[in-house]
């Protein structure tokens, strides 16, 4: 019988169990990893001495790189919380509180980042001074610190006090009880026990982390003011996304929090990432925070809305996780600080945030907008506190809050609105449905749970399955056609608007999920402007697979030149598009003398779309601006390149070599880029770049890329990967 059990759980996630050593290692730690383990039965309920708790891992092997293909690789917050509370390792007198502390295994850099991230994930801002830096006066800062200490059992502890760590270098090292691990290479490991060993490879290659649940496909009618319910579960619910909503207002979409697998949820709803105007953020626990990196991978900066207190807490956690300066977050989001207890206007939508007692800095939101019958309102109360726990804080002897403040919190929670979604998970840090039994709001929705509602709870509040909508004010405008007009006006800024009407006066067609819109190497009669949803770009002779969002024009040059399509375009969700005949589009282009410009830009755009760096997430306006700024250079064989700090470079033809100590340690091919370290990250590599043959590459000015979040994100991810890979190759 094998002494080491290895189970592939999901892409980038493995389970290693050595029963004789009482060691269960979760290898890899992507978002929602706990849900994967529950789904596969590796986490299961158990009872001992009359106490019910759960089985699960007691160690985590971290990825060597924090990011892979745009997503976090190391999100240990919920797995650690599971060990501490669901398994009982930190609960006094618990029958399972006799084993070792949770163990993190990884490189020194990743462990340090995780310990800081877990610290911020537990407490948010950790001092009165940090709170006051957010503009909070001393009296309120004292109240907030009292609340934190109540949730922290009177003491804010360093991560080292509750978590053990094991730092990997390059030699075989013992984990526990005769179990050894050896670091073989970047994200490659060997685990051995007695005469057995297994290998673990955490590299994703061209794959991405999967979602543990299937959401189907949904069609959402764009309303004037409404709420799309995009998640009602919590960090343990294996079948549903975490509590979240999406506001529709005047044709724009606003996310309320960004939990794990947010892009998967948006695709299921038929909403492209480029349709999102911004995100309102409640707090920085992973089930409301982990999707932020997906929102950093867009062609334009999304707006980030939150009170400064919440923003600072989020920035500190995100910067700890990524090992970057907190100010770098501003490269990816357009920051809009909101005022507590005040109606803040956001493009006609009004929002009032209230501070809410929780273990980290948290706010709740009430939104309102004028409809046909006056103001209509929606309240989003994520991670609130139960009235019983709140009263216990009043009665606490050393970290008490005042009775008057407790009454104030209750009054804010009891605000009457048309639709109110509440956290009803119960327990020490969540709300109770029973507290809202007498609430006079038009509709109460119970959310943030991983168990079925009781009969009593069902009598208090409604459910809201994924993709259902509460319409607060109906829309009588065609937002898709208005969006099309705005896109074409921006795409052809020199053309009079009345001429643009010729393009928008065409049918809007629907493509069902998984339908092919255009097929590679086949002629087509129409070009399509994508208005809603997500489209996948595929190319048969390569591994290219890019996700494209609203604002993309499919089949433009091939339609103008009566050529077959260069790529295959496939609907990833329900997609709506304006359908324009090739003949009419050709007439428009020729009539307005646009042929030369379109042809020139298209050739460069076609190359960019085939590259990993620029192939997804860029609307045509960004693509055109980028293409117009690029300069082509040709370099002879054997040349050592001198790179400028104000540019990055992307290879068009030939190959380039990374040289270190006179050895080739890497090769760059068509579509690969370089120079990001000097241009964006203030570094200077010890390696050289040399032409292996006659090579051509484009130079791109740094300033053109600075406001394109997805490009900056990919540069950062590649920089981190190359830095670690070069280090391994140098050993």
**Strand, coil or helix: 463:** coil
Whether residues 521 and 451 fall in one domain: no
Whether residues 700 and 714 fall in one domain: yes
Out of 439, 473, 507, a domain closes at: 473
- CA–CA gap between residue 58 and residue 103 (Å, rounded): 6
- β-sheet bridge partners, residue 13: 10
Q: What is the CATH number of the domain that holds 522?
A: 2.60.120.10
Whether residues 15 and 57 fall in one domain: yes
Whether residues 467 and 384 fall in one domain: yes
Whether residues 32 and 178 fall in one domain: yes
Whether residues 523 and 601 fall in one domain: yes
- CA–CA gap between residue 9 and residue 34 (Å, rounded): 11
Instruction: Answer for the pair 242, 78: CB distance below 8 angstroms, yes or no.
Output: no
CB atoms within 10 A of CB 603: 12
42 closest CA partner among 238, 290, 266, 251: 238
H/E segment holding residue 5: strand 5-10
What local confidence, expressed as pLDDT, does residue 731 receive?
46
Out of 616, 641, 661, a domain closes at: 616
The pairing of strands 5-10 and 516-518 is: unpaired
Q: What is the CATH number of the domain that holds 244?
A: 3.60.15.10
Question: Using alpha carbons only, how large is the chain's radius of gyration in Å?
Answer: 27
Whether residues 674 and 573 fall in one domain: no
167 closest CA partner among 149, 155, 183, 152: 183
- CA–CA gap between residue 549 and residue 554 (Å, rounded): 11
Write out the DSSP string of 688-706: EEEESSSEEEEEEEHHHHT
Whether residues 697 and 722 fall in one domain: yes
Whether residues 406 and 461 fall in one domain: yes
Residue 280 lies in a domain: yes
The pairing of strands 535-538 and 545-548 is: antiparallel
Residue 160 lies in a domain: no
- CA–CA gap between residue 508 and residue 722 (Å, rounded): 45
Residue 138 lies in a domain: no
Instruction: Answer for the pair 293, 598: CB distance below 8 angstroms, yes or no.
Output: no
- Encode burial over 655-684: b for 16+ CB neighbours within 10 A, e otherwise: bbbbeeeeeeebebebbbbbbbbbbbeeee
Residue 143 lies in a domain: no
Number of domains in the chain: 4
Residue 579 lies in a domain: yes
Whether residues 463 and 395 fall in one domain: yes
Burial (CB count <10 Å: 0-12, 13-18, 19+), residue 529: buried
- Write out residues in the chain with pLDDT < 50, as ranges: 731
Residue 121 lies in a domain: no
Residues spanned by the domain of 394:
225-473
Whether residues 598 and 647 fall in one domain: no
Whether residues 383 and 456 fall in one domain: yes
What local confidence, expressed as pLDDT, does residue 477 receive?
87
Written in H, E and C, the secondary structure of 55-83 is: CCCCEEECCCCCEECCEECECCHHHHHHH
- CA–CA gap between residue 34 and residue 233 (Å, rounded): 13
Residue 319 lies in a domain: yes
**Strand, coil or helix: 614:** coil
What local confidence, expressed as pLDDT, does residue 686 receive?
62
Rounded to 10 degrees, the C-alpha dihedral 247/334/677/284 comes to -60
The pairing of strands 23-27 and 13-18 is: antiparallel
- CA–CA gap between residue 190 and residue 200 (Å, rounded): 6
What local confidence, expressed as pLDDT, does residue 93 receive?
81
**Which sign does the torsion angle of CA 648, 651, 654, 657 carry?**
positive
Kindly report the length of the chain.
731
Written in H, E and C, the secondary structure of 265-327 is: HHHHHCCCHHHEEEEECCCCCHHHHCCHHHHCCCCCCEEEEEEHHHHHHHHHHHHHHHCCCHH
- 120: Cα within 13 Å, side-chain hemisphere: 26
Q: Which residues contact 603 (CB under 8 A, 6 or more apart)?
A: none
- CA–CA gap between residue 450 and residue 194 (Å, rounded): 40
Residue 663 lies in a domain: yes
Out of 569, 589, 616, a domain closes at: 616
Instruction: Answer for the pair 324, 332: CB distance below 8 angstroms, yes or no.
Output: no
């Amino acid at each position: 019988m094998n002494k080491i059990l290895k189970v592939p759980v999901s892409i980038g996630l493995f389970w290693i169990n050595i029963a004789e050593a009482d060691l269960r290692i979760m290898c890899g730690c992507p978002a929602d990893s706990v849900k994967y383990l529950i789904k596969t039965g590796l986490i299961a309920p158990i009872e001992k001495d009359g106490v019910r708790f759960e089985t699960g891992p007691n160690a985590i092997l971290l990825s060597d790189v924090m990011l892979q293909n745009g997503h976090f690789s190391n999100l240990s917050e919920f797995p650690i919380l599971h060990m501490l509370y669901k398994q009982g390792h930190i609960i006094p007198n618990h029958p399972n509180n006799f084993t070792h502390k949770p163990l993190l295994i990884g490189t020194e850099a990743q462990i340090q980042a995780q310990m800081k991230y877990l610290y911020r994930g537990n407490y948010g801002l950790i001092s009165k001074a940090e709170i006051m830096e957010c503009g909070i006066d001393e009296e309120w800062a004292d109240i907030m610190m009292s609340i934190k200490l109540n949730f922290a059992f009177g003491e804010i502890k360093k991560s080292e006090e509750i978590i053990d760590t094991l730092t990997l270098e390059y030699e075989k090292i013992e984990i526990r009880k005769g179990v050894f691990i050896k670091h073989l290479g970047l994200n490659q490991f060997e685990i051995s026990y007695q005469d057995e060993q297994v290998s673990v490879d955490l590299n994703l290659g061209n794959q991405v982390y999967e979602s543990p649940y299937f959401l189907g496909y949904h069609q959402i009618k764009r309303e004037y003011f409404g709420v799309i319910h995009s998640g009602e579960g919590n960090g343990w619910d294996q079948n549903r996304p975490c509590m979240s909503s999406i506001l529709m207002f005047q044709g724009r979409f606003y996310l309320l929090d960004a939990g794990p697998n947010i892009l998967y949820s948006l695709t299921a709803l038929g909403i492209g990432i480029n349709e999102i105007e911004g995100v309102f953020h409640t707090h920085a626990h992973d089930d409301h925070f982990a999707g932020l990196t997906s929102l950093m991978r867009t062609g334009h900066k999304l707006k980030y809305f939150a009170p400064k207190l919440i923003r600072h807490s989020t920035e500190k956690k995100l910067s700890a996780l990524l090992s970057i300066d907190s100010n770098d977050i501003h490269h990816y989001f357009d920051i809009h600080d909101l005022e507590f207890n005040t109606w803040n206007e956001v493009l006609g939508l009004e929002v009032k945030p209230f501070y809410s007692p929780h273990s980290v800095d948290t706010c709740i939101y009430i939104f309102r907008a004028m409809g046909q019958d006056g103001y209509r309102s929606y309240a989003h109360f994520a991670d609130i506190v139960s009235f019983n726990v709140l009263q216990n804080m009043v009665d606490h002897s050393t970290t008490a809050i005042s009775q008057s403040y407790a009454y104030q919190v209750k009054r804010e929670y009891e605000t009457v609105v048309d639709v109110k979604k509440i956290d009803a998970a119960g327990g020490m840090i969540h709300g109770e449905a029973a507290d809202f039994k007498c609430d006079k709001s038009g509709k109460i929705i119970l959310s943030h749970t991983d168990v079925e509602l009781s009969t009593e709870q069902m009598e208090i509040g409604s459910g809201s399955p994924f993709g259902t909508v509460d319409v607060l004010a109906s829309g009588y405008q065609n937002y898709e056609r208005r969006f099309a007009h705005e896109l074409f006006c921006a795409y052809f800024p020199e053309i009079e608007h009345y001429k643009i009407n010729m393009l928008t006066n065409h049918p809007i067609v629907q493509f069902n999920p998984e339908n092919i819109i255009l097929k590679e190497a086949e002629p087509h009669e129409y070009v399509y402007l994508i208005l809603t949803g997500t489209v996948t770009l595929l190319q048969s002779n390569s591994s290219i697979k890019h996700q494209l969002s609203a604002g993309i024009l499919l089949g433009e040059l091939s339609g103008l030149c009566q050529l077959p399509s260069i790529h295959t375009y496939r609907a990833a969700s329900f997609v709506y598009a304006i359908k324009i005949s090739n003949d009419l589009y050709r007439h428009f282009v020729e009539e307005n003398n646009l042929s030369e410009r379109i042809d020139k830009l298209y050739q460069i755009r076609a190359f960019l779309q085939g590259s990993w760096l620029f192939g997804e997430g860029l609307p045509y306006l960004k693509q055109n601006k980028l293409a117009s700024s690029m300069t082509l250079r040709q370099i002879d064989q054997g040349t050592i390149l001198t790179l400028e700090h104000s540019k990055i470079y992307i290879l068009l033809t030939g190959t380039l070599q990374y040289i270190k100590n006179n050895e080739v340690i890497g090769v760059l091919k068509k579509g690969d880029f370089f120079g990001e370290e000097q241009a964006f990250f203030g570094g200077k590599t010890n390696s050289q770049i040399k032409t292996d043959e006659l090579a051509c590459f484009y130079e791109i000015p740094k300033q053109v890329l600075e406001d394109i979040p997805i490009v900056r994100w990919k540069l950062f991810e590649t920089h981190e990967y190359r830095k670690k890979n070069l280090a391994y190759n140098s050993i």
